[in-house]
Amino acid sequence: MEATSRITSKGQVTIPKAVRDALGLGEGDEIVFRVEDNRATISKPKDFIELAGSVPVPPGKRGTPWDEIIRETYATRYGKRR
């Protein structure tokens, strides 16, 4: 399948309905952009690893296990569990 779309002045692109239907995409879905050899592709993420980069990591926490970041963030926002 091939479809075309235009880039808006804000850098936005509407994914054609035929492509959304073929990929099973709906409003609010995450998509992955890949650029290789002067080609861009979009796809649905296959797993959590493909979403890397879409979740902001707190300053100084890069490389810290997610469960530790979640625990610390929860404790900071809501206080420690009793």
d(CA 31, CA 50): 9
41 and 63 share one domain: no
Note down pLDDT in tens along the chain; length 82 residues: 999 999 999 999 999 999 999 989 999 998 889 999 999 998 887 766 666 666 777 788 778 887 888 888 888 888 866 5
Range of the domain at 82: 56-82
pLDDT of residue 69: 81
pLDDT of residue 61: 77
45 and 63 share one domain: no
pLDDT of residue 11: 95
pLDDT of residue 49: 64
d(CA 42, CA 48): 16
pLDDT of residue 67: 85
31 and 71 share one domain: no
